Structure 1
């Protein structure tokens, strides 16, 4: 039998009714906004790693749907591919390339299957490479601004360009676009689309223009008329840098010069909320939604006097700031919250890519690299740069390999000396060339029948053979001086005069 004590009776008198919940006792109420913000902040990954992409700003960033690979593009024209599964603690990319020569990379997007990457730069060529970095194809149009893959079709993608057009392409036929439509105002004036995107179901195409307007088309119909148009979505003259649909498809987020706006597609006349004081210096600054569509994330660029770039998290129900993270000492340009990895990728203005992950909730991705130690270099495998002398490698002893006759003919054709045509014969000498003798019938006859006198004798001997006869029988000079000057007197010359002097 259980007996009640006096203490028990006193406690029963104090507690009347059901017990108070423990959550209320501790002072935490989940129905309050403060408690909601605390729960939202718990979803934000805070552990971070820093990946050095280069020295220039990272203005393009994407990851494949599986979360195994990441691609980055920067102002230094380089596109780098990263594999989370093979990277170690040094965080080195497995491939770096310059597909667009000397043009900054504006946008990078993985296809829905993750096997193709769309590269958009300032050039008039949208290039497509595979996940290993090898080029597949390219399409031609005006200088491009943005691009986007179709969320349901791996062959279809969208581009917007400086010629006030948006074009839909098919990977199988890139010589001509599949569909083209122009972005014009209500007064039929052309505007330049600076951002474009597909909705999550692929039925809607949205474009943000450089005059602050937003235009939408139904991709299942003809693109001759917009289904939704808001002329002054942002301030006139504001270049919209990003247009993004939420995962559920009911919200549209746009990023302008210093604001982030949320739009309800069911009531598109006015924004649901506007977040101000979010300055962006780069025209590729974007926004991203959390995987559960409860938060929106965007970065802020540095203004004069500021020293730290910040990333902001806003609640989509209360529209309050949930958290702000100081990322780096430079601009925060690109953000991406991967739904499968539950990690946030951030591209910064100093060439650093930061990956934020949670040690408990996040899966794979950056966690694979952090847990993998750098590979130790085995000293026995190091090859010293010794000098090797090979006699057979000298040009004197080198034997030419047998080459194809056709290839040799092609090389000889490129040689200006071997492929030089002989000069044609000329009738008269000109240009420093002397005409060849015997070109006419007369010269040929004279050359063969004419008598040629060959004077190949010694001239001194020819003259001295008459010396004896001229001394015995003088005829010209000696008879003239025989009476006046019988003995010949010759001039001694200048040398004799100098000696006497």
Structure 2
């Protein structure tokens, strides 16, 4: 009888279809209890365990297992939802583009057209009327002139934009204020004059008296030529008549001093610093450690605050024939990529800051009259215009895109100082400069010109002296002017100006209360203790007698001493002979204090009784000594016998 072989069925894995629990399939089928029945048994056991824990400890749901999730089912559901959202976004693409303010979103990120916009609606003043799909945003959180000059201010005429409704006067000294600087935040003002003084003004700490909180002479007996705060406002550059520029901190304490070069070296590129007096200087607008100076030695030098012992770069401007010329004014462009200077030969020369300074990037030879100083050059805020002020009584406006001929020449502007400057308004619509007094004039003026039409906008009568420096601060919207009589004036608009001098006017000038000094009176108490007894006032005679007895007050000379003490030696040991005798070990100690005559005469009696040297020699021939006749003439004067 043959045995029947045992056969095994196929075991396959199918994730799409659930495995049947019945035993109809071939093979052994499934082992153990069915899955559903096993789950019910596990849940029942868990419930019994939880009931037992609740009865013993009073805690429910202790040790409950985490809920099981079907990840595959969740992925299928998410995929189906994403396809439906993409289909609806494609249908509502055009409608979303019209409703969206900034611009259409990508189709896969679109929203349902039935959904409302999230958040409050956009304010009407931020939506441009001409194009509703754009938003006008204001950058920066600080108050500035750009925020104050809104659409209403743009419609105002240029004369009304000048903040000159109110004025404040500050007194620096009696000499001309030729240097002026305001820090970028507008909190402090620094003024420099030809009287060697630099004054610091703090608007937040001043009252209506308008007094500076510190005045110092940083460069000793050298007049101040230029002042400028750094881009961060933490330090100030001081350019004086010396060959060494200095950098001070906000409180006026010296931070560094540039090195002076060797004046006996011909090549100025081989020296570490300037060798002649400085003319001007300025900070880099973006690099806070870099500044520039120009000097009478014919060079411009770039410095770093980290290394004041040697310049970073040296620039040598040249004339038409190749000879050197002295730069009288220097400036950086607003973006910091261009270095410009005005020279004594009337030329304006520029270099690219990103390259080496061998070749110029732009040169204009006949910008101003030759052999006259170009006192100032200024770049516009947008960087397309350049203004130059010269001592040839002209102010010229240039377009850097066509830098061959000036856009306009403003003439008959007399300038007496080498520091008379020019500058642009914050919106570049005006250019302004100061004017020095001539013989027939009585009041110095600050003149404003339109950069588009080149017409005179207005002129402000400042003071009965020269107008040298003028700064229109863009954040404060205030104009600071340095005059020739030592007066610094500040013009502002009460409505459109911020902080600055407005903070000082509202503060009252409180005088310090004088402290009453009570003179100490003598109280006579006859029974007072000696400890509290006051010394009676003596007359001058008794006072002088008492001081005469005091060796310190009378300055009594030192008394002679017998032995050395306190660094002094006795008179007997102060000579070289006494030192040698005492240190060579003589048998007898020589007393230097006795009288030499007495020391010799004490041997006279012994010499007379016991002669040793002279008497024995004449004992036989001349027992009785015969002395020469004192009354008779000497042998040499005896008369000759006839």
Interval of TM-score (by shorter of Structure 1 and Structure 2): 0.7 to 0.9
* Partner of residue 79, structure 1: 198
Inter-partner Cα distance in structure 1 for 2:279 and 2:568: 49
Distance in 1 separating the partners of 2:521 and 2:307: 53
- 1:206 and 1:101 map into 2 onto residues whose CA distance is 30
1:44-193 pair list within 5 angstroms: 44-46=162-164, 47-140=166-259, 141-142=274-275, 143-193=277-327
Q: Deviations over 1:466-491 (max 9, x none)?
A: xxxxxxxxxxxxxxxxxxxxxxxxxx
Q: How does 1:469-480 map to 2 (within 5 A)?
A: none
Q: How does 1:3-82 map to 2 (within 5 A)?
A: 39-46=157-164, 47-82=166-201
- Does residue 367 in structure 1 map to residue 498 in structure 2? no
Matches of 2:518 and 2:223 in 1, distance apart?
A: 38
CA distance in 1, matches of 2:191, 2:335: 26
Aligned with 1:211: secondary structure?
coil
Shift in alpha-carbon separation, 1:387–1:224, aligned structure 2, 3 A: farther
Q: Which of the residues 462, 470, 492 maps onto 1:335?
A: 470
2:436 is aligned to 301
Q: Which residue matches 1:492?
A: none
With over 3 angstroms needed to count, the CA separation of the structure-2 counterparts of 1:249 and 1:51, relative to structure 1, is same
- Number of positions where the alignment pairs a residue of Structure 1 with one of Structure 2: 392
Q: Distance in 2 between matches of 1:130 and 1:124?
A: 20
Query: Cα distance, 1:383 vs. partner?
Result: 5.1
Give the counterpart of 1:261 among 380, 396, 404.
Answer: 396
Normalised to the residue count of structure 2, the TM-score between the two structures is: 0.57
* Cα drift, residue 378 of structure 1: 3.5
The one of 288, 291, 313 equivalent to 2:426 is 291
Q: How does 1:214-363 map to 2 (within 5 A)?
A: 214-257=348-391, 258-363=393-498
In structure 1, list runs of 5 or more residues that go unmatched.
Answer: 1-35, 397-416, 428-434, 458-501
Q: Which moved further from structure 2: 361-370 or 437-446?
A: 437-446
The question of whether the paired residues in 2 share the 8 Å contact of 1:438 and 1:444 is answered with no
Please, which runs of 5 or more residues in structure 2 have no aligned partner? 1-153, 260-273, 523-533, 536-542, 548-565, 592-598, 606-642
* SS in structure 1 of the partner of residue 503 of structure 2: helix
Structure 2 CA distance for aligned equivalents of residues 299 and 446 of structure 1: 93
Alignment partners' CA distance in 1, 2:429 and 2:186: 21
Distance 1:418 1:304, change over 3 A: farther
CA contact (8 A) 1:157 1:168 kept: yes
Deviation at 1:357, TM superposition (A): 0.1
SS of corresponding position for 1:280: coil
Q: 1:372 to 1:175 in 2, by over 3 A?
A: same
User: Cα–Cα, structure 1 residues 387 and 346, in superposed 2: closer, same or farther, change >3 Å?
Assistant: farther
CA distance in 2 between counterparts of 1:110 and 1:217 reads 23
Query: 1:206 aligned to 332, 340, 343, which one?
Result: 340
CA distance in 2, matches of 1:338, 1:93: 19
3-state SS, counterpart of residue 454 of structure 2: coil
Alpha-carbon distance between aligned partners in 1 of 2:340 and 2:513, rounded to the nearest angstrom: 55
- Call closer, same or farther: CA 1:440–1:56 in 2, change over 3 Å: closer
In the aligned structure 2, how far is the partner of 1:352 from the partner of 1:243?
Answer: 24
Determine helix, strand or coil for the equivalent of 1:241.
Answer: strand
Give me the whole-angstrom Cα distance separating, in 1, the residues matched to 2:188 and 2:521.
Answer: 42
Deviations 1:131-179 (A, max 9, x none): 1111100102232111010000110001111111111000011111111
1:456 Cα deviation after fit: 12
Give yes or no for contact 2:328–2:375 (8 Å, CA) kept in 1: yes
Q: Give the root-mean-square deviation of aligned CA atoms.
A: 3.4
Q: Which has the larger radius of gyration?
A: 2
Tell me if structure 2 keeps the 8 A contact 1:64–1:110: yes
Instruction: Please give the secondary structure, in 2, of the residue aligned with 1:201.
Output: coil
Question: Quick one: distance in 2 between partners of 1:436 and 1:229?
Answer: 84
- Is the CA contact (8 Å cut-off) linking 1:437 and 1:443 kept in structure 2? no
Change (3 A) 1:196 1:455: same
Corresponding residue SS for 1:266: helix
Change (3 A) 1:383 1:131: farther
Structure 1 pair 109–383 and aligned structure 2 pair: CA distance change class (3 A): farther
Q: Alpha-carbon deviation of 1:370?
A: 1.1
Inter-CA distance 387–159: structure 2 relative to 1 (3 Å threshold): farther
Instruction: Name the CA distance, whole Å, in 2 between partners of 1:241 and 1:352.
Output: 21
Partner SS state of residue 375, structure 1: coil
In 1, Cα distance between the equivalents of 2:321 and 2:287? 35
